[in-house]
């Protein structure tokens, strides 16, 4: 009670965040777990069915494919969105004219502000049979026929990963840039006096300094990638369904399109379990994140 009276203002400031998470995160999560044990449809729960919904999920013909798609896309997205933004961040840090640096920051950040519908429209116009990429490849005689990017399952996952990275890379690069700019300039000057070249400074100064930021972004992107929906759903068609249907899309299809909320909730709980396993594994693999 003494601590409560002494730090009451901190608890008051923390209360809105706790209320938000309780109402919009933990309560819906609890409702989802409860529905996963119910026979539920549009009219609500109609009775306890035990593990029946989970058995239906396990026996669903395409759930294992959706699980594999979720894990493979999450792996590709997490590694790409964690590592690739380091390159433009280092490049921006080396640009001297401040107005040029700010202009380039705005340019690479702009895709993050666009909606997924606009992003997909840009990708479609660029990669369509009469789009920029196919036109250039044909004019250079690299290919004879346009590449069917959107009807070839081979391109489905790379396109989902590519357009997501393009949208997010500027935001992540600015986070890394902030960390890089916090390095003491005297340390860099001392390294240069000792004969360190650009690669040595990146390897021995920049990367160790931003390692905690890399660890945090890795965890954030891993959790977000496991819930991938927008980018994959917009790429969904008859030819690519087997390659881009994730567990989130599977839950949406069962719950919203087929009105089986019990099975959809069970699939959501399975996805929640994958996220919790990922959290536990990252705490062991990335111990630095526990000290932030």
Supply the mean pLDDT for the chain.
86
Q: Please state the pTM of the whole predicted model.
A: 0.86
Domain borders along the chain are 1-26, 62-257+265-291
pLDDT in tens, 54-64: 998 888 888 89
42: pLDDT confidence band, cut at 50, 70 and 90?
A: low
Q: Is 61 exposed, middle or buried (0-12, 13-18, 19+ CB in 10 A)?
A: exposed
Residue 44 pairs in a beta bridge with: 41
Q: Which of 26-30, 45-49, 236-240, 287-291 is least confident?
A: 287-291
Residue 249 pLDDT greater than 80, yes or no: yes
| 62-257+265-291, CATH topology level | MetI-like fold (1.10.3720)
- Residue 245's pLDDT is what? 92
- CA-only gyration radius of the chain, Å: 24
- The H or E element spanning position 18 is helix 8-21
């Amino acid at each position: 009670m003494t601590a409560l009276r002494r730090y009451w203002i901190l608890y008051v400031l923390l209360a809105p965040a706790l209320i938000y998470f309780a109402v919009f995160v933990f309560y819906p999560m609890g409702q989802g777990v409860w529905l996963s044990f119910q026979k539920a449809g549009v009219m609500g729960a109609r009775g306890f069915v035990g593990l029946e919904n989970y058995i239906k999920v396990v026996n669903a013909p395409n759930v294992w494919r959706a699980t594999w798609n979720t894990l493979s896309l999450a792996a590709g997205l997490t590694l790409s969105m964690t590592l690739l933004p380091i390159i433009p961040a280092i490049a921006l840090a080396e640009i001297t004219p401040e107005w040029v640096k700010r202009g380039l920051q705005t340019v690479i950040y702009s895709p993050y502000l666009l909606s997924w519908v606009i992003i997909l429209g840009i990708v479609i116009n660029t990669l369509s049979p009469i789009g920029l990429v196919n036109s250039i490849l044909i004019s250079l005689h690299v290919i004879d026929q346009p590449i069917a990017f959107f009807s070839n399952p081979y391109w489905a996952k790379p396109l989902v990963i590519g357009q997501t990275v393009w949208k997010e890379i500027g935001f992540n690069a600015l986070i890394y840039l902030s960390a890089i700019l916090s390095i003491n300039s005297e340390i860099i000057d001392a390294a240069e006096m000792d004969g360190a070249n650009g690669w040595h400074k990146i390897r021995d100064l920049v990367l160790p300094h931003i390692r905690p930021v890399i660890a945090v972004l890795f965890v954030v992107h891993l959790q977000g990638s496991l819930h991938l929906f927008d980018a994959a759903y917009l790429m969904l068609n008859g030819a690519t369904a087997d390659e881009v249907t994730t567990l989130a899309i599977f839950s949406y299809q069962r719950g919203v399109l087929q009105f089986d909320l019990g099975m959809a909730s069970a699939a959501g709980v399975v996805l929640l379990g994958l996220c919790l396993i990922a959290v536990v594994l990252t705490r062991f693999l990335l111990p630095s994140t526990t000290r932030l």
